[in-house]
Structure 1
């Protein structure tokens, strides 16, 4: 079996055509270099060099094989350099998950990471918290912005607090209470799009003993906001979604049961260099928040 070190010796000697200089470049003795060349000649079935007191020349076989051997050695060298760079977090890929309720802190951290590691390929995957955890278990996601708490043993970094926020059409009474709101049609995101958010909403009203008279679901929080602005019904969105824009006014429920934590999560075990660097980036962004 041909060894890479022997091919490297062949290429170096083929470039220098001088045993002493080639040996010095390879940090070998001339005797060790000769043995490597001899092993290759046995594998290839013929001499690669003609050696005389005055010169060293490639044989016909040596000239025929040198270009491809050079390509193989250069490819191995590139692979080695890339492996070292990947181990240092300079290149590679990072697969990041996020949910429909976690779009505030993630973009800033990702933008900074891209500036620091422009050669790293980042792929973003929008999915629910439950699907993010499964993807990390399956090895198709490296890190995710998920609703907390995480499963036991999973490293977490709390990134932000979020809450249920009501967007009320301007046509509704100014002093309307949650008890009165449930009599109007409610619009929110479909459970298939954000199961944890949807379940939290339903449980919250159940805990307060309030029955929602009419519930319409949509595929995006922007759609819920638009329907609220049009007066079709009132909407519930994450507080991180924002105040809602024209045509609505936002009401915070001022109830701890309406709040939850969002954090960066990764699978148990030692994190690789890219995940560790991104983790530090998110921690810096969180620390800067007022």
Structure 2
């Protein structure tokens, strides 16, 4: 059944005026008359009575109108929702992030939800490597990751991050910067490579450039665990500065100014299949990106 035949019938049945119905449907009266005739032939019974007094529904026409109105209303709603989804106002969005980008997500997400309250958002705490793999597999739609990204993904740089040396507050007077001579013999606490391979490899490369090989006492799965252990005096650590905005009173964070300790963080997504929701999210992040970079520790 042609949807437009049904719409023409309901429009005419509700107005019982060919001129008004034709204008609402943006059809000529002869075209509307042909559509009604086609529908009557398809159904096998007349829908309207036409006389010099005007147009009226037959008994069958009134019955068919009661059947057609809710169907047409549902169809209109389907099209309406479809148009909203095409504008990125409806749908779902799976967002990847890591501990180092929690601050970014916490500032982007409220604005996105305010603008698009009917988009269902889910958050996934993953390393940059895991995010990019899931993006390529299709189980994630956008991610906040360490740059560069894998082939097949698009990205937008948001801010820079860098390494910082974290020491117990009790050692603050003894160690004031990343000086290999003063930290060479200290026990180090680092994140597991499986938890943050990009960060772990960056620390390894950076230390090698300084001819330094940390004496790793303990690996941990969470940055907060490392901060707690450092604060307790168990050892020191090299961490990403973005994880140290509120480190607590028991540790001191010493930024490393060597440019080789720095890397870029950005938003990444797949572009091989356009997605209006992703496009809206990228647009929002692009618009507020200048506001996302937090002040440096020093």
Q: TM-score band, normalised by the shorter chain?
A: 0.7 to 0.9
| 1:253/1:49 CA distance change after superposition, 3 Å | same
Number of equivalences: 289
Higher mean displacement: 78-87 or 217-226: 78-87
> Counterparts of 1:82 and 1:150 in 2: how far apart (Å)?
34
| 1:250/1:173 CA distance change after superposition, 3 Å | closer
| 1:7/1:280 CA distance change after superposition, 3 Å | same
Within 5 A, what are the aligned runs for 1:41-52? 41-52=40-51
| 1:239/1:3 CA distance change after superposition, 3 Å | same
Residue of structure 1 in register with 2:39 after alignment = 40
| 1:172/1:287 CA distance change after superposition, 3 Å | closer
Asked whether the equivalents of residues 179 and 210 of structure 1 are also in contact (C-alpha less than 8 Å), the reply is no
Aligned-pair distance for 1:155?
3.4
| 1:45/1:171 CA distance change after superposition, 3 Å | same
Within 5 A, what are the aligned runs for 1:45-194? 45-152=44-151, 154-172=153-171, 174-176=173-175, 177-194=179-196
Residue of structure 2 in register with 1:284 after alignment = 287
> Counterparts of 2:60 and 2:187 in 1: how far apart (Å)?
84
> Counterparts of 2:28 and 2:274 in 1: how far apart (Å)?
42
1:121-146 superposed Cα distances (whole Å, 9 cap, x missing partner): 33333222222223322333332211
Give 1:225's match in structure 2, choosing from 224, 227, 230: 227
Q: Does 1:261 align with 2:254?
A: no
Regions of 4+ moved over 6 Å: none
> Counterparts of 2:194 and 2:39 in 1: how far apart (Å)?
62
Give 5+ residue unaligned stretches, structure 2. none
> Counterparts of 1:72 and 1:53 in 2: how far apart (Å)?
32
| 1:49/1:116 CA distance change after superposition, 3 Å | same
Give 2:237's match in structure 1, choosing from 229, 235, 238: 235
Aligned-residue RMSD, C-alpha: 2.8
Residue of structure 2 in register with 1:250 after alignment = 253
Asked whether the equivalents of residues 162 and 260 of structure 1 are also in contact (C-alpha less than 8 Å), the reply is yes
| 1:17/1:52 CA distance change after superposition, 3 Å | same
Asked whether the equivalents of residues 108 and 285 of structure 1 are also in contact (C-alpha less than 8 Å), the reply is no
| 1:74/1:230 CA distance change after superposition, 3 Å | same
| 1:67/1:227 CA distance change after superposition, 3 Å | farther
2:123 aligned counterpart, secondary structure: strand
